[in-house]
Structure 1
Amino acid sequence: MFRKLLPVVLALFGLISGLGAGLLFRPHPEMIEIDTSNEEGESDATHAHHNQETSVEGTNPAFEYVKLNNQFVIPNLEEGRVASMVVLTLSLETKQGLRESIYAREPKLRDAFLQVLFDHANTGGFQGNFTSSSSMTALRRALLEVAHKTLGPDVNDVLLLDIVRQDFD
């Protein structure tokens, strides 16, 4: 009887301790301080718009980021066999308001991106030190070029969010 209860008790203990740790270490919501002082006599709407534009340094409010729905899985071949798999997650930096248009044309964009990624893999781009600056720059440039051909000049950049290579022995 005890042997049958032991796995259940251990599972409950793990569940309860995991829940407790999750609650203990969860991030607390940051308090947002709103500056209502208006030293230059600007209207509140102008002041709020100015704060909105400069709230996050290094970002341009004229652009939005569109994450492509699925990852890209690229086989890396050596002597006709799959030696490794590369998984990438891509996002596009585009002008505001193009999200729906991009998602509507995503199948064509994914096809073009896959061709670039397969070409990169076939030329050895995912072998050795595949995350070197020169290799990643060449890949980004090729992806941006095909994004411009597919979606037009409204795409500002192609961002590599995640890249993982799983080698097989």
Structure 2
Amino acid sequence: MKRLLPLIFLVLGLAAGVGGGLLFDPSPAGEKTNAAETGSGDAASREDAVTETAGSGQDHADDATGDPDGFEYLKFNKQFVVPLLKRGEVIGLAMVGLSLEAVPGLGERFHEIEPKLRDGFLQVLFDHANMGGFDGAFTESGKLNPLRGALLEVAQNALGVDRIRSVLIVDIARQARN
């Protein structure tokens, strides 16, 4: 009996884990299918289910959420960190959080080419910083709109012009070096 008890607990634990996983399955595909079948576009079926994963050790969680206009939002897992230089010295950092507004179903492709997108986005952000884009009142639309346009061009080149609607700047901060 002493040898069977750990085996019984293992089987019960496995069954409880599978049951809990099925019960609390956050699959957006099932929600979209149910909403499409019933024809109801209620607010509950469109709730954002973005899971923050920064620093949690997870690779990618549910970072694509539905939009009633037929788009989904793809969030980069980590912020972009851009050094701010003056006469060759780092005088601060700019941290930028970005998301893409894309056609539904692009999430898997997004994750496959995220390193390429990050590289292209970092180059645009470095160029923006080198032109003084993060100096002074860096959050003015006159400074952010050209940045959004350049980031959109990179995203559309990587994922398709008809697949990416816009690049959203969801977080931006500048930290001066002491």
Q: TM-score, normalised by structure 1?
A: 0.67
Q: Which has the larger radius of gyration?
A: 1
Which residue identity is paired with 2:86? E
Distance 2:68 2:123 in 1: 30
Listed as ranges, the gaps of 5+ residues in structure 1 are 1-43
Ranked by relative contact order (alpha carbons within 8 Å, sequence separation 6 or more), the top structure is 1
- 1:45 matched to 2:54? The reply is no
How many residue pairs are counted as aligned between the two chains?
Answer: 122
Matches within 5 A, 1:30-109: 45-46=38-39, 48=40, 50-51=41-42, 59-109=67-117
Match 2:157 to one of 143, 146, 149: 149
Report the Cα distance in structure 2 between the residues aligned to 1:114 and 1:51, rounded to whole angstroms. 38
Displacement of 1:53: 10
CA RMSD of aligned residues (A): 2.1
Asked whether 1:135 is paired with 2:143, we answer yes
TM-score between the two structures when normalised by the length of structure 2? 0.64
Q: Is the 8 A contact 1:53 1:61 kept in 2?
A: no
1:45: Cα distance to partner?
Answer: 2.3
Q: Distance in 1 between matches of 2:113 and 2:46?
A: 32
CA distance in 1, matches of 2:170, 2:135: 19
- The equivalent of 1:164 in structure 2 is 173
Shift of 1:112: 0.3
Per the TM alignment, residue 96 of structure 1 is displaced from its structure 2 partner at its CA by 0.3
Deviation at 1:54, TM superposition (A): 9.9
State the SS of the aligned residue for 1:90: strand
Where has structure 1 moved over 6 Å in runs of 4 or more? Answer: 53-56
Unaligned runs of 5+ in 2: 1-36, 48-66
